[in-house]
Structure 1
Amino acid sequence: MSIIVQKFGGTSVDSASAIKRAASRVIEEKNLGHDVVVVVSAMGDTTDTLTRLAYEVTSNPQKREMDMLLSTGEQVTIALLALALQEKGVDSISFTGGQAGIQTDSIHGNAKLKSIDPDPILRELADGKVVVVAGFQGVTEAGAISTLGRGGSDTTAAALAARLGAERCDIYTDVDGVYTSDPRYIKKAAKISSLTYDDMLNLAARGAGVLHPRSVKHAKEHGVPMTVRSSLTNERGTYINHTSKRSDRYPVIGIVFQDERASITLNGEDRDRGHDRQSVIRSILAARHIECDFYKNQQETTLLIPHCDLKESLELISEKEGPIAFERLTTDCDLAKLAVIGSNIRTRRVIQGKTAQMLTRAQIDFQFIDDAPGSVTVVVKQPDMHRAAEILHTGFGLDVPEMRKIAAIH
């Protein structure tokens, strides 16, 4: 039988009733004749609650112990979902990441997958069971529990789907698909019926929180179709594979944004001109799996990072000498990042110029990050983020009914 991997996010399993509803979704797929592997996140705000507890105990928690603590959230969910399935007469078994054969590197708090041994899952599927796997986690080569960082459950689901040769990977969440912007804040955002892997990767990498970029990369590399669907309704979601029904007539497909960004600005020229400061910093942060963007202004080098990585980034940069020496270092913790996303933006300069014009007219201060051919990205103050996103969404015609129809958006 073909294998379907389903993933349920935290809002889709945030209560006993939600877990029972998720179990019904699993059973529907099982009754269609598929083998089913389910990946789940921690219930609701469990991860945030556990993190707060850790900081009540210590102001500087070690990352290894944080992995040990945070991984318990998913373990609660897998056991409850397996019990709910058994109550409904479906044979099931729950696995932690390690029990499911998931091995990672040793970067605690933001580990990357190294390998997956499919045999433990395949043995249980052969016995007719539904296998429920804890997302967001694995084990290091030394046997320590590790976590995959933001979007870790998405990554677990896509990687398992790829390794198991699944027919499809379904991502169940609290929205019914991928939208032209976040519908919680941009009221005229429209659902997109289908996307290519590249379009979805571009959206996810720039801030569309519905999927993590690593999950899309796994799916693309192995040709596993993905769907993003609501766990609350039977609405058709967004289908993601190598092709899309979307018209190329309109270059812009979405406006995405990320809050809680921080900047680190290094003033002064490099003392050692034989090294490129930007490349050295990127390499240092990449070794710790810290994402960053750069934008330069005269003798300043500014990098933009998630606020949660600020402390570690400052430590990594300050302890290095020579190639990235600087005269003065300043930070700004009240920033956000917006991106105008396009499929084959052939008129990049026009898009960038129009973006600048609209934000300037609205008296919104911004800086450009010129980092990809498929997007125009700007940094703004966090209080301006939603207003700027709405202005760009309207300005590029994404909330016009006629454009929705032409672009195969509904």
Structure 2
Amino acid sequence: MLDPAELDAADPLTFAKARFQLPDGVIYLDGNSLGALPSSTTDRLRLTSEREWGENLIASWITAGWIDWPRQIAERIAPLVGASPDELLVCDSTSINLFKLAMAACALRPERKIILSEAGNFPTDLYMLQSVADLAGLTLRAVPRAELRSALDETVALVALTQVDYRSGERHDMAGLNSAAHGAGALTLWDLSHGAGVLAVDLSRSGADFAVGCGYKYLNGGPGAPAFLFVRRDLQGCCANPLPGWFGHSSPFDFDANYRPAAGIGRFQTGTPSILAMAALDEGLKSFDGVAIADVEAKAGRLGDLFIESVGDCLSLASPMDASIRGGHVVFGHDHAYAIVQAAIERGVIGDFRAPNLARFGFAPLYLSYSDVARAGAIVRDVVLSGVWREARFAERKAVT
């Protein structure tokens, strides 16, 4: 049995919880969907809006350094995903970045006509990949996870996958799949939305070619926070941004009618960045100051193990038991998962529901203690065994997001 008190006493990340503002009486297990609010973010937004924007107006593009933020903020992400700062850029949304990089990657393999993905990939990723296929005259082949390697052949231009399954939490062997893809002559594109900030992702050592990720989950950048993209350094000069905009121009203030891409990663910028949103993301990333990402991953695994142990056998585990192949969230299956999640929320444990029958609970190691998670598991177990979820107010709705 895991002892929450002993684990808390030995936790090297205990100090980080004070960096967040969380409501009293709530155990927040949905940071894998929207990260908690860092305590300093409100002041940062006030500074950016009232002083930089309100007082200095347009001069703040230079005096406050706004124009450099897409690269500067990316530098904070670099150690979390195992990349060099000049391989990362903060911009746009995850979906837009996925589209840009998928188009760029497929153009590097013009003789190949297949984009390979997983049938259970996040729906928006599949939508975007299908759009890329339609526009580029390619075919999207989405296969079950177990068939990915056998589907690799000389027709595949790009393998596009999500590192951690948004439902089960099972993670891919990134290094192994990168190696297999390269062996077949294909490129790889990873969606790190459920991995960045909770796992010790290592894009460089694993041999990844391209990657995207969001800023509003474990990176605590706020709702709709800007996303990031990664392009391996040696590929940057070969790639074209399919959505060229003035911020990706080599000399944007020349207002040249002819597009000339910026050198390096900067060419993947498109339009003007959302400065207030960038400020919030920058503050969210400061939550990782002094934190070793290896400690974050280790704690996420132990938090998940503790929660599984605390819930016990009253729910059917739909995630890997082995933390080494699990991301930062744990999922249980139940025919009335929606009602169970709603009943747990009423008792102060915030998780979420994923259709058709999954109760999902995420573990953000920076602001969750082991005692929090053990208590949450006991509450969920009591909700299930007591049958309180059967009450009419928890009835499943027809449309659940």
TM-score by length of 2: 0.25
TM-score by length of 1: 0.25
Higher normalized helix content (fraction of residues)? 2
Considering Cα pairs closer than 8 Å and 6+ residues apart, tell me whether 1 or 2 has the greater RCO.
Answer: 2
